Chains A and B, each alone.
Chain A
Amino acid sequence: MDSVGTMLKGVASLVSRVRKLDPGHLRLGTQAPQSLAAQLDNQVSFESPRAISCTNENDPAKHEEKHEGLHYNLPLQDVKTVFPHGLPPRYAMQMKTFNEACLMVRKPALELLHYLKNTNFAHPAIRYVLYGEKGTGKTLSLCHIIHFCAKQDWLILHIPDAHLWVKNCRDLLQSTYNKQRFDQPLEASVWLKNFKTTNERFLSQIKIQEKYVWNKRESIEKGSSLGEVVEQGITRVRNATDAVGIVLKELKRQSSLGIFRLLVAVDGVNALWGRTTLKREDKSPIAPEELALIHNLRKMVRNDWNGGAIVLTLSQTGSLFKPRNACLPQELLGKEGFDALDPFIPIQVANYSPKEFESCIQYYMENSWLQHEKAHTEEGKKELLFLSNGNPGQLERLCAYL
């Protein structure tokens, strides 16, 4: 693969890093060095057309600069365990149509991978914030990172979209633990189910270190495993929010001990500090702090623990009461959020570079997704580039009906 990879470098120069939230296409393209002559390009394109936009390197840990822009395959089994709830809906549709999950390796993710590989677990957890325009690939970059951490056997705490917790909630119960706060049983139980699918093997290993009392008759003793807390949350939906709170607290406490490494991945983290659309019975609005789930999540995102990393994504798409063109951390998080997250490493996710764009188009052509005759011509590609402006989300939507 390496020799082919180098050969492809010339061809792969077109590989664009599109980490686009293309539904279903995460492509990892390997970029071959451009040093190869054009003749080799022609040869290569006949021998292994798939290799131009795809690479065989399926382990995110080994992705390097040279893989930039190429697509790598995620085994479907992994996808079911690692991402029960994390993929954007259009990407999930694409995955279903092509029967494969391919992700593109892009620079922001490579940068983050590099930082994660060199983290010092004795220091407090560092926060990384992925930001960028709408549709550039923040969520899929996050998914790439999560896959990497899953392969490295970290414990993954993935909240697919924090905005879902602050809007459209059917039942809000007053919390049993703290009278001022509100519980969201449905969202909490759904999240617990998905958490269980992702982290099966850790649940029996981690023991809780405190006694928790659910109600007069049920309590959980010190020393029992985290799996039991999760089960309790799933079966007794009323206590699901409290179960989530316990899980978060215990994980935070125990990650410093070094038994496991914790990755906190939150998509749409600006929901934690904005406003909610939920109202009490007397129609007065609820602030995010009054939701128990949000309160616990905020504690999780503070960097007063060590032994892991926190990767966050801002998102304007699901955000409430924010203008459409707001994409910078200051605008989306607001003063409160920005201060709370203050020392963080911002990573910008941009539109496709020409190489990544080419790679994306190549991937589509390999799967014969572009059926329109003119889409295969040079002018067609130029038109697509112009119409989408290199924006991964727009390109995906355009190609869907071509």
Chain B
Amino acid sequence: MMMKGGNKVLARSLMTQTLEAVKRKQFEKFHAAASEEQANIERNPYTIFHQALKNCEPVIGLAPILKGGRFYQVPVPLSDRRRRFLAMKWMITECREKKHRRMLMPEKLSKELLEAFHNQGPVVKRKHDLHKMAEANRALAHYRWW
């Protein structure tokens, strides 16, 4: 999803720059923190990345079901890969659209990843919004036939 026009080299370099940015930010925090908190600060960029994406995965999704001429948004369970896909897609669209004009992708991505790691930030908010919609439409759940 990061790749555009098959430019894997660029996508790869953006990812490595993001990981480096995440690592440097965490090191800054580490050096600034007192020794008790130093054990809690995670500095491995890979664990941060995986944990952040896990925090962004929705548990339940909505599907449009046609019944009686109208489309109803019905809460539906999502498969594992669909969840991972949605987490990554949300993360990337968020970084592409909602950034300041001159901010670079690695910088913005690293910021979003760190926020998602702490369960804050716009992507996690979007996941919560989806959950709330699904909860609101709970009554329509029996429209699902699978």
- Residues of chain A at the chain B interface (Cβ within 8 Å): 93, 97-99, 368, 371-372, 400-401
Contacts and interface: CB of A to CB of B under 8 A. Distances in A.
Nearest to B47: A371
Dominant SS among interface residues on chain B: helix
B24 A401 contact: no
Contact of A97 (B16, B27, B45, B46): B27
Interface in B22-65: 23-24, 27-28, 31, 43-46
A109 B43 CA distance: 34
A70 B1 CA distance: 44
Interface of B: 16-17, 19-20, 23-24, 27-28, 31, 43-46
23 contacts: A93-B24, A97-B24, A97-B27, A97-B28, A98-B27, A99-B31, A368-B43, A371-B23, A371-B43, A371-B44, A371-B45, A371-B46, A372-B44, A372-B46, A400-B16, A400-B20, A400-B23, A401-B16, A401-B17, A401-B19, A401-B20, A401-B23, A401-B45
Contacts, number: 23
A93 B24 CA distance: 9
A93 B21 CA distance: 11
A379 to B, nearest CB: 18
A363 to B, nearest CB: 15
A237 B17 CA distance: 38
Contacts of A400: 16, 20, 23
Contacts of B27: 97-98
Nearest to A372: B46
A401 B23 CA distance: 7
Contacts of A99: 31
Contacts of B28: 97
Contacts of A372: 44, 46
Residue from B27, B28, B31, B45 with most neighbouring chain A CB atoms (10 Å): B27
Residue from A93, A371, A372, A400 with most neighbouring chain B CB atoms (10 Å): A371
A182 to B, nearest CB: 31
Contacts of B43: 368, 371
3 smallest CB-CB distances across A and B, nearest first, come from A371-B44, A401-B19, A401-B16
A24 to B, nearest CB: 11
Nearest to A368: B43
Nearest to A400: B20
Nearest to B18: A401
Residue from A97, A98, A99, A368 with most neighbouring chain B CB atoms (10 Å): A97
